[in-house]
Amino acid sequence: MPNWLKDAVFYEIYPQSFKDTNCDGIGDINGIIEKLDYVRDLGCNALWINPLFDSPFKDAGYDVRDYKKVAPRYGTNADLYRLFGEAHKKGIHVLLDLVPGHTSEEHPWFLESKKAEKNEYTDRYIWTNCWFYGISGHPYIGGEAERDGCYMLNFFKCQPALNYGFLNRTADWQSAPDAPECIATREALKDIMRFWLDHGCDGFRVDMADSLVKEDDENKSATGAIWKNIREMLDKDYPEAAIVSEWCNPQQALKSGFHADFYLDHHGNGYNTLLRDNETPGGDHSFLKKDGNGDIMRFLIDYLPKYDGTKDDGYISFITCNHDTPRARLTLGYDELKIAWALFLTLPGVPFIYYGDEIGMRYLDIPTKEGGYTRTGTRTPMQWDNSRNHGFSDASSEILYLPQDPAEDAPTVEDQEKDPSSLLNVTKELIALRHKYTDLQADGSFDVIYAEKKQFPFVYRRGNLLLAINPSENKASAALTEEAYILPNDQKATKLTPVYSIGEFKQEANTLTLKGQSFVVFSLEA
């Protein structure tokens, strides 16, 4: 486990929208370099940058045309190498986005693979052996190649699936996962990883990490075997490199060698019940919504088995949002967001803050761009200040990659820096708190102290710290049982000293009362 992950707080940057330094209306690498002090001062010590590689951008860069070349619109490879160096000087690690399951249909491997005559790349992708036979249960395309066959898609039409084989094979055109052509795909992936690691990157967020071997078993053991092999390479040659998976199944992902796995807004996930409760008939009952009448148990029932089952293998990553997810500001106001970030930044694992969430940027209802569809509204340019284009770009507003929040009260970093109680300043305090107390970091223990169905507050312990959160708009109390006072070394705490709070609280004998929308952290002392 790379040591730096233990105290990592990530900041996700969507490069299109962070900072434009050459006035073409789209963000660039030099813009990220310019804003590294901002990231550091926020308290974030790691970055995940969405794909920066050469691409036709039919899926915002998740359709890679050249894995080893920076897209000219963002700069050059030399700029990216400089970003690694500058980030490191400020104590910031950098993860790139690795897309292992598919390429762009314009990738040179695919152009070769489409050819009728056999060549090195014929089996780099998944093809049937006849133009007339498709692939049941999977999306595919026929009629577009000189080659006699249909090819499988991994996501959009522009993203043919790379060939890592089929575990359960039903047709003779399907390769076994250990066939030479599948090993060649895996080795090509390792070569890409080595290329960027050798140039100074610190690891990868891995796109659709579970999508490699098709017709895998329910444990995804064949896909897992590929990642274990890759992890062996990392442990041997790049022990400080980290890999974080988009798998959303920590039991599988962490056993397969990932250091952390995202807890995403997938159907049925406990994470949704906290702030994106869009599946409950009868309204939004998110726990973090002040009038949601939420229920922390809906989260814990899903999260606790995941946490208990994986805490020795790696980390679960909570996100404030990501480039695929509606921004939390869609349904929560600033005060609710403060409490929400308080929870995410004090849970175990490695947290990720999506750019702009620290100031509560809005989700905008805007037309799709680069295959974003409903995701586009979450990807708008960062709002730095009150100057032209909110300081994102000096270009004319008409050519901005995406429009900005037109509201009079659009949040900006400049405004929030001036207000001590702003979401930005509270987020900074919360991150600083996490850095200050090892107990709050990735490895610190996590115990539920008070959690009752449809009741507030939620009280939990992280090592020698006792935390209570009341996101509802009403006052709420909890009785602190004996258990709350037993320290990890089995001594009994006699003193509770508040070390941080948002809103108001009162502790009398064994009763803890929090006003609506409050949060408190106590240090437990023997």
CA–CA separation, 173 vs 171, rounded Å?
6
- Structural contact between residues 413 and 385, judged by C-beta atoms closer than 8 angstroms: yes
DSSP for 432-492?
HHHHH-GGGSTTS--EEEE--TT-S-EEEEETTEEEEEE-SSS-EEEE--GGGGB-TTSPB
C-beta of 319 vs 476, nearer to ligand NOJ:
319
Residue 411 CB neighbour total at 10 angstroms? 22
* Residues at the site binding ligand NOJ, with contacts judged by CB under 6 A: 59, 62, 99, 155, 207-208, 246, 323-324
- Compute CA distances 420 → 349, 360, 477, whole Å: 28, 15, 28
C-beta of 202 vs 207, nearer to ligand NOJ:
207
Q: How far is the CB of 12 from ligand NOJ (least distance, A)?
A: 10
Shortest Cβ contact with ligand NOJ: which residue? Answer: 62
Give every CB contact of residue 133 below 8 A, 6+ residues apart in sequence.
150
- Structural contact between residues 8 and 442, judged by C-beta atoms closer than 8 angstroms: yes
C-beta of 155 vs 392, nearer to ligand NOJ:
155
Q: How far is the CB of 63 from ligand NOJ (least distance, A)?
A: 8
CA–CA separation, 299 vs 342, rounded Å?
16
In 3-state terms, the chain is what percent helix, strand and coil (to 5)? 30, 20, 50
Q: How far is the CB of 101 from ligand NOJ (least distance, A)?
A: 7
CA–CA separation, 428 vs 335, rounded Å?
15
Angle between helix axes 180-198 and 221-237 (nearest 10 degrees) is: 40
Q: How far is the CB of 375 from ligand NOJ (least distance, A)?
A: 7
C-beta of 62 vs 196, nearer to ligand NOJ:
62
Residue 195 has φ and ψ, to the nearest 5°, of: -55, -50
Give every CB contact of residue 197 below 8 A, 6+ residues apart in sequence.
203, 237, 238, 241
Q: How far is the CB of 59 from ligand NOJ (least distance, A)?
A: 5
Q: How far is the CB of 371 from ligand NOJ (least distance, A)?
A: 7
Tokens for 49? 């940058």
C-beta of 246 vs 261, nearer to ligand NOJ:
246
C-beta of 127 vs 354, nearer to ligand NOJ:
354
Q: How far is the CB of 102 from ligand NOJ (least distance, A)?
A: 7
The residue written with tokens 């009341």 in the block is: 470
C-beta of 56 vs 516, nearer to ligand NOJ:
56
- Structural contact between residues 164 and 211, judged by C-beta atoms closer than 8 angstroms: no
C-beta of 141 vs 208, nearer to ligand NOJ:
208
Q: How far is the CB of 50 from ligand NOJ (least distance, A)?
A: 8
Distance of alpha carbon 87 from its chain centroid, rounded? 19
Q: How far is the CB of 7 from ligand NOJ (least distance, A)?
A: 25
C-beta of 59 vs 405, nearer to ligand NOJ:
59
From the list 37, 33, 133, 102, the residue with the least C-alpha distance to 74 is: 33
